A and B are shown apart, each in its own frame.
Chain A
Amino acid sequence: MKILKIVFKNAFRHKLRSLLTATGIAIAIIAFGLLRTVIDAYYIGIEASSDTRLITSNAVSLTFFLPISCKNKIEQIEGVSKVCQSFWFGGTYIDQKNFFAQFAVEAESFVELYPEFVLQEDQKKNFLQERNSCIVGRKLANKYGWEEGDTFRIVGTIWPGDWDFVIRGIYDGRDKATDESSMYFHWSYIDERMEQTSPGRAGRAGWFYVGLNSRDDIVRVSEEIDAMFKNSMAETKTETEKEFQQSFISMVGTVINAVRIISIVVIAIILLVLANTMIMTARERIGEYAVLKTLGFKPSHISSLIFGESLTIALFGGLLGLGLTLIIVKRFGAFLENNMGGFFPIFEISNTTLSLAILAALAVGLIAAIFPTITAVKMKISDGLRQIG
């Protein structure tokens, strides 16, 4: 118990030095926590995606379309419950900075395939009935102050023209991870105008959502779809929604790996800082350790003092950093969810990240104490006493 008291008193004997070191650790933990939270936010879309829905897209690239005629053929495959065509619209709402995801979908099958987008029955009914209607996520509606019945215009970029929409539903996510920052509207609204203005661009889908009766059919149905269109003008690539999301992530995989490495490098740097502090501290106290050894204190006691002091500073910095990370994530996360919901539908620090941050702080504390402990324990008492005075 008394050893613990000495540990605490020693840890803050040089207040400024300990505070600066702890602040360094806190900053490292903040960086570590935030970087990991960014990575988690990227992956949260994957967690939310279903592995009982398939996505069939052009085998060449997502930027290539598939003919709508594929839909009927896919529907004929045994085990397929529903097929919904979709494409990325990519229009501008007032200004380019107002970016949010816009998807043209075949509305009837979409609302059945995506029960995680929770709509009231009358909203669903109104959405299905009106050709230029749309549904928007709660976060997106909140961001622009939209309410049911509001109208707005989007200027097409990929699909030229002015497109007016009326909001017929504001959906809530069934799960926390469900995206509430996107807009969905009728595929036919675009397609019909394309037929009139650019017939060559009509009858296209960016991809098909394919619902299955059973999860057991995933492999067979995927293979059958792709086999069906093999050697055609539009060969397909069918994968689960999870895999589809992962392929998006893999596009930025290098960046994510870089972020991961940076988060570890930050911890490694602060390890050096704390190790330096502990080496200086142990060197200063070598005489005191010699006195304690003289009095009969054993290497285990000396180790406890040095490890305890290092862990105290590391833990203090770690907890400080964690507290600040929680505050930053809460405030900054709300901003990101509202303004960059497409990329960060949920920006929350996970329990895993919290645990890893504390473990990292403790690991830094432990590792930093190893060298000075070895030095102090191996030191001959007479050598240590000679350094006093």
Chain B
Amino acid sequence: MADAIVEVINVNKSYKRGAQKIPVLQDIDLSVPEGDFIALMGPSGSGKTTLLNLIAGIDKSDSGEVRVSGTDIAKMSESNLANWRSRHVGFIFQFYNLLPVLTAFENVELPLLLTKLNKQERKKHVEAALDIVGLGDRMRHYPNQLSGGQAQRVAIARAVIADPTLIVADEPTGDLDKDSAEEILTLLERLNKEFKKTIIMVTHDPRAAESANVIRRLDKGVLLNGAKA
């Protein structure tokens, strides 16, 4: 079995609503081996997106450790965390979250602007990423000129462009029709199998979860026992 790339150890997280403290995650322990594809399922409000955010370093736990590639990201400063995210995590969102004023090419190029790559090198990488997602011919299109499936594929290209350690996907098929969702899931499977990318996907769609190697369920902030898909 491969070494764990993500280790969540005894993590708790709660939100404050006025004076009231609402627990979202309770005593979470999770280990994701390198190269795995895991689906986090659960009803709305179960805490799956919060857990994903903690793993991706865009939110912080109240207690416990979140280790990615051996680094406890919960202890990082905001600035270091931003650098870390840009190098180690690729994000795929439900609503694609492309910048509408930028073309597909420019959207995919965004993470590379934080690297030292020159324009030519960036171009090479972006073209390759867009080819992988099958949008080599849509580079100059703006998001509003793309279908939902195409926009999500651009978002996937953006997620993999910096060759991250981990890809996190929050309901990547939630806004897509059946065919487009299939395409996206196939693409994610390909990234996992062919490019050996570790993927953690939040979904409440059982069909989407079937693409993953492991399904973990959350209910009321508690992680239930795992099961093979």
Contacts and interface: CB of A to CB of B under 8 A. Distances in A.
A295 B162 CA distance: 10
Interface in A1-43: 2-3, 5-6, 9-10, 13
SS class, residues of chain B in contact with chain A:
helix
Contacts of A292: 99, 110
A389 B94 contact: yes
Contact of A382 (B58, B83, B85, B86): B58
B111 interface: yes
B102 interface: yes
Interface string A278-294: 00000000011001111
Contacts of A295: 85-86, 91, 110-111, 114, 158
A297 interface: yes
Contact of B59 (A10, A297, A298, A381): A381
A10 B100 CA distance: 9
B49 to A, nearest CB: 8
A252 interface: no
B109 interface: yes
A6 B101 CA distance: 7
A388 interface: yes
Nearest to B91: A294
Nearest to B155: A291
Interface centre among B50, B110, B111 (most CB of A within 10 A): B110
B82 interface: yes
Given A6-B102, A294-B91, A295-B110, A388 B97 contact: yes
B37 interface: no
Contacts of B91: 291, 294-295
A200 interface: no
B114 A296 contact: yes
Contacts, number: 66
B79 A296 contact: no
Contacts of B94: 389
Chain A interface mostly helix, strand, loop or mixed?
helix
A10 B101 contact: yes
A155 interface: no
B93 A291 contact: yes
A13 B100 CA distance: 9
B53 A297 contact: no
A153 to B, nearest CB: 71
A380 B111 contact: no
Given A296-B111, A381-B58, A381-B59, A388 B93 contact: yes
B180 to A, nearest CB: 17
A288 B99 contact: yes
Contacts of A293: 58, 82
B141 to A, nearest CB: 15
Given A2-B106, A389-B94, A296 B101 contact: no
A383 to B, nearest CB: 10
A296 B87 CA distance: 8
A42 B107 CA distance: 56
Interface in A356-389: 380-382, 385, 388-389
A5 B110 CA distance: 12
B114 A297 contact: yes
A294 B110 contact: no
Given A295-B86, A296-B85, A389-B94, 15 more contacts: A2-B113, A13-B100, A288-B99, A294-B91, A295-B85, A295-B114, A296-B84, A297-B82, A298-B79, A380-B59, A381-B58, A381-B59, A382-B58, A385-B58, A385-B97
10 contacts: A288-B97, A288-B99, A294-B58, A295-B86, A296-B84, A297-B82, A380-B59, A381-B59, A382-B58, A389-B175
